[in-house]
Amino acid sequence: MELSSALTFEMLGKPFLLEKRIVLLHAIKEHGSISKAAKAVPMSYKSAWEAVDVMNSLSPEPIVSRETGGKDGGGTTITEYGETLLKNYALLKEEHTRFLERLSELTDIKSGTFKTIGRLAMQLSARNQIQAEVVSVTPSSVHADVVLALKSGQRLHVEITQEAVENLQVEVGQRMSAIFKSSSVSFLEDENADNHLHGTIVELEKDDALCKVVIDVGCHDKVVAVVDISDRVLSVGEQIDVVVQKNHIILGK
């Protein structure tokens, strides 16, 4: 059984970004003209302009800008704010699709019931949950080495059982969550450690004994460490390398 659902954003209680409007915005970006974009979608020129007007009127900033005059007679462009919306919508659409795929897997088509549906609402205490893409899976008799690529391009090696690889159906190209506790992150300068992540300290929160350190490892991915830093001084903005042991990471999807 497959489930489907449209992803729609609302603003002020009204539909704001619908999938067809997203297609229209991409067409405007490609063609630089609402009339050409309307034909590509397809929709009528009137409907395309009405959709643009609604989006611009509901949005806190213009999404589509129309330029007049000039040697080419002007044109229609997507604003910087509109570009950001398109990128964010694409990310949410990807997560929305993954959720529906997972929901389909839990649906028993014969009985029409759901199997262990509570797992979809599970919340974890682990502070580090990073989305990454599987770039390689190296199996062995008991364990497998799974390599993940973070959005920044940095790599994480994860050691899980071969049984887990089969149960999760881990494959190259699949997006998964790397989950690990803040206590599993250290600042040890160990060249033999499995995973070194380079980043910038963006937040420090200290108490008498420990310090919570938030490190941006690129492309808005953050790693949280809770460590004893009595023997060193850290500061926001400092470049730092952290270590995460591969057998301390759990994979989820």
- Inside any domain, residue 118: no
Indicate the number of domains in the chain: 2
167 Cβ contact list (under 8 Å, min separation 6)? none
Q: What is the pLDDT of residues 146-169, one digit of tens each?
A: 999 999 999 999 999 988 898 888
- Are 26 and 127 in a shared domain? no
- Inside any domain, residue 74: yes
C-alpha–C-alpha distance, residues 234 and 213, integer Å: 9
Range of the domain at 51: 9-101
Residue 243 has what pLDDT?
A: 92
- Are 94 and 210 in a shared domain? no
- Inside any domain, residue 111: no
- Are 165 and 236 in a shared domain? yes
- Inside any domain, residue 227: yes
What confidence category does residue 107 fall into, taking pLDDT thresholds of 50, 70 and 90?
low
123 pLDDT more than 70: no
Kindly tell me the sign of the dihedral angle through the C-alpha atoms of 141, 143, 149, 154: negative
The encoded tokens of residue 122 equal: 């599970």
CATH number at residue 199: 2.40.50.100
Q: Looking at this protein, which amino acid is placed at residue 241?
A: D
Residues 62-69: what's their mean pLDDT? 79
Exposure class string for 160-180: b at 16+ Cβ within 10 A, else e: beeebbeeeebeeebebbbbb
CATH number at residue 18: 1.10.10.10
Q: How far is CA 106 from the centre of its chain?
A: 23
| 199 contacts 223 by C-beta, under 8 angstroms | yes
- Are 132 and 215 in a shared domain? yes
What confidence category does residue 115 fall into, taking pLDDT thresholds of 50, 70 and 90?
low
